[in-house]
Amino acid sequence: MMSEKKSAHLIKVGEEFEPLEFLVTPEMNQQYLYAEEDFHPRYIEASPEGPPLVHPGILYNMSNNTRSPSFYLPPGWSEVHAAEETEFINPARVGKKIRVTWKVIEAFEKRGKPWHVLDILIVDEDGVQIMRRIMTNTFASLSL
Amino acid sequence: MVRINKDTPIGLEFTGKPKKMSWERLWAFSGGPFNQQGWPKKNLHTDTEFAKSMGLPTVGASATQYLGHMTELMIGLFGEEWLRHGKMRKIKFIKLVADGDVLTSKARVVSKKTEGLKIEYDLSISVKNQNNDEVLIGSAIGSIPAE
């Protein structure tokens, strides 16, 4: 685990970004329903199986590694999301705390730019696995 | 939305609802919580000047925003059960999505096979903008009960 912030593009294979924990409230969920223009009742109303489902848009956006408390890039740098593999494992439910972890599993240089492949796991407060992502990012800077 | 069923043929294409990437929806997705002071947070998804400072012509929508559109299409095709087994593979984001773009998710059945009590479908998926340019390509896997 990283103990201090360093530029994300310098994180090495095997290192992890600081995990993120967040609570999905109905208000947060409904903000994403608006953003995604997807107002299906499954995200608003409870069912016999439990509280409303968390919209997948939240899971995607909050598991981008830019959400990690330790994510840092110097001014003038940005991270570009280039590719993705996603596996849904269980639905997440509103009212649960979600924990996201990020581990760098590949780092390489291509066309003069650094690239990272991240293994991302989302679990809820009960330890139920929600989603796994393999996210490929490159980094852009006006100086590159 | 028509659900995939055991009689769904290879080659059939499904299309999601077109969605405009309006400023309001970009801000709602990438601007942070509504109750955060100074909302929306300025970043390359929400602020033109910020994006230009990074060398972009305008803001670029977060790829996860339209990955969400595609996921809506998948849940429409396979039901909520897709959230327990669905996979998206070899997804590539190949073109900038700007403010005002209108995106449409598409999925075409490439193959299907029966495995035990399930029929597994392999889909070719894409998201296209209003000019019919692909902005996302890849594949998706989902299954339904064989009975």
Closest of B72, B22, B23, B2 to residue A39, by C-alpha: B72
Instruction: Give the CA distances from residue B62 to residues A57, A80, B24, B120, in Å, rounded to whole numbers and listed in that order.
Output: 11, 9, 14, 30
Quick one: pLDDT band at residue A140, thresholds 50, 70, 90?
confident
CB spacing of B65 vs A88 below 8 angstroms: no
- pLDDT tens sequence across B55-70: 899 999 999 999 999 9
Q: What percent of chain A has pLDDT over 70?
A: 97
Whether B1 is covered by a domain: the verdict is: no
Please report which confidence band the pLDDT of residue A141 belongs to, taking 50, 70 and 90 as the band edges: confident
CB B86 to CB A76 under 8 A?
no
Residues in B closer than 8 angstroms to A87, CB to CB, are 86-87
Contact B88, A85 (CB under 8 A): yes
A102–B contact, CB cutoff 8 A: no
Domain range for B74 is 13-145
Q: Give domain status of residue B7, yes or no.
A: no
CB contact under 8 A, A57 and B17: no
- Cis omega (within 30 of 0) for bond into B57: no
- Chain A closest CA to B76's CA: distance in Å? 10
Contact A1, A69 (CB under 8 A): no
CA–CA gap between residue A20 and residue A18 (Å, rounded): 7
Q: How many domains does one find in chain B?
A: 1
For B25-38, what is the HEC assignment?
A: HHHHHHCCCCCCCC
Interfacial A residues in 81-100 facing B (CB < 8 Å): 81-91
pLDDT at A144 over 90: no
Work out the end-to-end distance of chain A between its first and last CA atoms, rounded to an integer number of angstroms: 28
Q: Considering just the CA atoms, what is the radius of gyration of chain A in Å?
A: 16
Nearest to B63 among A27, A37, A81 (CB): A81
**What percentage of chain B carries pLDDT values higher than 90?**
95
pLDDT tens by residue, A5-39:
799 999 999 999 999 999 999 999 999 999 999 99
DSSP letter assigned to residue B10: T
Predicted confidence (pLDDT) at residue B22 exceeds the cutoff of 80: yes
**Contact of B57 with B100, CB cutoff 8 Å:** no
**Distance separating alpha carbons of residues B129 and A93, to the nearest angstrom:** 32
Residue B8 inside a domain? The answer is no
Write down how long chain B is: 147
ipTM, two decimals: 0.95
Chain A contact set for B78 (CB, 8 A): none
Domain annotation for chain A: domains and CATH numbers: 8-141 (3.10.129.10)
Identify whether the C-beta of residue A103 lies closer than 8 Å to the C-beta of residue A129: no
Contact (CB, 8 A) for B67 and A133: no
Q: Please say whether the beta carbons of B127 and B69 come within 8 A.
A: yes
**Whole-number average pLDDT of chain A:** 95
Nearest C-alpha in B relative to A76: B54
Considering chain B, what is the average pLDDT of its residues?
Answer: 96
* Percent above pLDDT 90 for chain A: 90
For residue B110, what is the domain's CATH number? 3.10.129.10
For A132, which residue in chain B has the nearest alpha carbon?
B87
pLDDT at B1: 72
Please count the other Cβ atoms lying within 10 Å of the Cβ belonging to residue A116.
23
Which DSSP symbol is given to A47?
B
**Rounded to whole angstroms, how far apart are CA atoms A52 and A38?**
14
- SS3 assignment, position B49: helix
State residue A65's pLDDT score.
97
Query: What pLDDT is recorded for position A4?
Result: 60
Residues of B in contact with A53 (CB under 8 A): 80, 83
Cα distances (Å, whole numbers) of residue A91 to A98, A99, B37, B88, B121 = 12, 14, 31, 16, 20
pLDDT at B55: 87
